[in-house]
Amino acid sequence: MIVDGLLLTAAGEVDSQVARLLIYEVPPSQVLTRLQNHGQACVWCGERGRLEPLGGTLGWEPAGCSRCGPLRLRYVRAYLMWARHAVQCTACVGAHCTAGEPFAFQHRVAYEGTGRRRPVICACGCAVGLESPLLRPCTAGIVTLRYSHAGACRAPERGRA
């Protein structure tokens, strides 16, 4: 289901739409090796074993290994479930929502399961810890696995001394 350009999936569903979001998890091609850029090594760990293509275009053919791919899919699913809640919950728009806490927790566990650590960068450019009640999935526009604030950004205005 798509709501305001946001792909929403059922719990545990792995379909081509969810898998296609993995491309947003691939590091920039400039930091990958030649083997990683050409689908001959995992883009996340560099393993050269069994690989699954992640998409790509014009000779850029990133792939993920059988260990990293499922961890990233778990993260994407958890993000989408949290985003589904955020889109459908009126309380999530402007403030912290206690009903969304289980989704945020599952997301945090899945995020850290990929080997990455906090904080994350919001769409506004500020760093926010995953445990922050002010953090939510960015539901504006198309899903790119980004984050935003619940309500207005509370960081100091940029450019002010």
Q: What is the pLDDT of residues 79-93, one digit of tens each?
A: 888 888 888 887 776
Q: Are 45 and 68 in contact (CB under 8 A)?
A: yes
Question: Using CA atoms, how far apart are residues 66 and 68, in angstroms rounded to an integer?
Answer: 6
pTM here?
A: 0.78
CA distances from 22 to 53, 60, 93, 97, 101 (A): 10, 15, 26, 27, 24
**pLDDT tens, 9-65?**
444 444 556 667 788 888 888 999 999 999 999 999 999 988 988 887 878 889 999
